[in-house]
Amino acid sequence: MQREGCRMGGGAQEPAGAGMITLDDLDNMTDEPGSDSAYNSNGSIEEEPEPMDDAEQDRLLQYWQTVGRGHQVEVPNEMAEPIQQLTRGNRTEERQNVPFLTISRKEKCGEVLYEKRRYGKAKWACVKMSEEQYEQSICLGFMKLMRYICEQNSAGLYLGMTIPILTVVHTDGSQSGLSRSVTVAYYVPTHLQEQPPQATDQDVVIEEWPPTIVLTRSFSGVTNEESIMHQIHLLAELLESPDLCLQDTFIVAGYTNPAAANRQNEIWFIERP
């Protein structure tokens, strides 16, 4: 992240304008036990929350606009409804995890250093972005996916949240930083895999990804260019044969509400076919 000061990727709190929800307020709203967070992955079915009133929806939109400015991204007013649906709004169904098979696990002193997993062939809704900054690309890409999930699709349906949301990143020629081109991807829910709804936004494309083996390590906190490069180098040092993986393409998997203070993430290395 080039600018400190927003919780979507970590950092200090920006002063909130008059009437704006503070970052602590949103933490309480989205992270409290039993809240219907967009990324709640505990699998429990909760009682349906009461609908937001206009003032509460406005406060939530204003919060996301404050966060967006921290990434130099404008969050338009039309995002109010998708933000409400994905954050808290009347959705009690289980958040579906992308299915995978654990092949092996490397541990040391009870700590999982990394896992080897196999993900099957599947369809993903993908948005390719090439903004000036990495954070701008993932923010704008995620907003497009939010619209697709929240009824802006050929079926006119709320599709339901799946986790993780993936960001495919590429390192530059010197492997010292990330290139501008990223792909933000959403796993189409299993019951829609055969015939995924098409997005009304032509930038959202349905892609079929082949079976893939990945080596993955968990990390928490910020997901900016600096932290991602750190996690890439850390996992490379832990692997016995990192040369068996792609050397310029990696995946960041996000499991937690993007506005949460302490995001739960993974870095994935992709094994060569």
pLDDT at position 84: 65
**What residues does each domain of the chain span?**
96-271
pLDDT at position 46: 37
Q: Nearest-CA neighbor of 205 among 259, 92, 128, 109?
A: 128
Instruction: Give Dmax over CA atoms of the chain in angstroms.
Output: 55
Rounded distance between C-alpha atoms, residue 147 and residue 157, angstroms:
11
Judged by DSSP in three states, 273 sits in coil
CA–chain centroid gap for 6, Å, is 16
Rounded distance between C-alpha atoms, residue 202 and residue 80, angstroms:
21
**H/E element holding 85?**
helix 80-87
Q: What is the pLDDT along the chain (273 residues), one digit of tens a residue?
A: 233 322 233 333 333 333 333 333 333 444 333 333 444 433 333 344 455 666 776 776 666 666 666 556 666 566 666 666 666 533 445 678 999 999 999 999 999 999 999 999 999 999 999 877 777 788 888 889 988 988 889 999 888 889 999 999 999 877 788 988 999 999 999 999 999 999 999 999 999 999 999 999 999 987 888 999 999 999 999 998 999 999 999 999 998 765 566 789 999 999 998
Looking at domain 96-271, which CATH architecture does it have?
Answer: Alpha-Beta Barrel (3.20)
